[in-house]
Amino acid sequence: METIDIEIEKEKAKTFKKYSTYVFIQTKEYGYNGYIVEVNEDDFIFMDDKIPAPFPIPFITLTKSICPSRKEARKYD
């Protein structure tokens, strides 16, 4: 498991949100593809392709660094 620097991940999350980057998130239990819609002090709000409502992901649950997704983004209408 890679070591995660939460401060770096917060800055990356802010950048990905600003540019509406489609990202991959890996937590202790799940992997998600989607968009970061808000960044808070301890977590960020995420909109996943397969979950109909945005939800919070605490930074401390990340097991990998936030990165652009390799999957094709879902089209939201």
| CATH number (domain holding residue 49) | 2.30.30.100
In a domain, 21, yes or no: yes
In a domain, 73, yes or no: no
Q: Please determine, for residue 1, whether its predicted confidence score (pLDDT) is greater than 60.
A: no
- Average pLDDT (54-64) is 97
- Average pLDDT (21-26) is 96
Number of structural domains found in the chain: 1
Residue 26 has a pLDDT of 96
In a domain, 76, yes or no: no
Work out the mean pLDDT of the chain and round it to a whole number. Answer: 92
Residue 74 has a pLDDT of 63
Residue 6 identity (one-letter amino acid): I
Beta strands 43-48 and 55-58 are antiparallel
In a domain, 43, yes or no: yes
Domain span holding position 10: 6-68
24, 70 contact by CB (below 8 A): yes
In a domain, 52, yes or no: yes
Residue 77 has a pLDDT of 44
Residue 62 has a pLDDT of 97
